[in-house]
Amino acid sequence: MAKLVPENHPALHTIAEEITPEEFSDGTVKKIVRDLKSVLHAYSMEGFTAVAIAAPQIGISKRIFLVEDQSHDRDSLPSFVAINPKLTKISKKTSESGEGCLSIPDYYGIVRRACNVTMQAQDENGNKFERGAGKFLAQIIQHEYDHLDGILFTERAEKVWNKTDLEKGNRDVA
């Protein structure tokens, strides 16, 4: 069974390779998607809900991520798979938001990201699509896209806290 790789795994720090046409037809894509969903559904950390995962997080250096909200206490996010995504529009307007990551479970941070993005990608069947996103979904897409480029949120964060410090109410830790 697939599992999250540790923070120092090379797949988390390198630019992922594009999915090839052969990988769509030989079952590779379907297996990666199945493994990503399995790990996302199995993720459990008190107080934190998984909403997305990228292939590098399970040690596969390929340009694929999926969004599938596991929360039941907010308006549901759309579920989709993005293969070989490209951000085609990024708004100049930005905002700061809190972020966490399955790959760095002990940390949480404040990251400045574009408020809106447009992405072109392929779905798990190889069909091309374009999707615009704002607010939380735009943040998620940018976070997952960063994973495909070997960037962890802590590298973009303006401030980072250890979750144990958050639980104690100490937000002055860098």
Is 140 within a domain?
yes
At 112, which CATH number?
A: 3.90.45.10
Question: Residue 7's closest CA among 128, 165, 169, 154?
Answer: 154
User: Does the pTM of the predicted model rise above 0.85?
Assistant: yes
Is 2 within a domain?
no
- Overall number of domains in the chain: 1
Residue 147 annotated as lining a ligand binding site: yes
The pLDDT of residue 43 is 80
Distance set, CA 63 to CA 69, 96, 139, 163 (Å)? 20, 26, 18, 29
The question of whether 144 is a catalytic residue gets the answer: yes
Show the domain range for 62.
10-167
Query: Which residues are within 8 A (CB) of 55 and not within 5 positions of it... i.e. 6 or more apart?
Result: 11, 16, 32, 36, 61, 62, 63, 64, 65, 148
Catalytic residue among 144, 155, 158, 167: 144
The pLDDT of residue 46 is 60
Q: Which two tokens stand for residue 171?
A: 């937000």
Is 92 within a domain?
yes
Residue 143 annotated as lining a ligand binding site: yes
pLDDT in 10s for each residue of the chain, 174 residues: 799 999 999 999 999 999 999 999 999 999 999 999 999 988 866 656 789 999 999 999 999 999 997 766 656 788 999 999 999 999 999 999 999 999 998 899 999 999 999 999 999 999 999 999 999 999 999 999 999 999 999 999 999 988 777 666 554 433
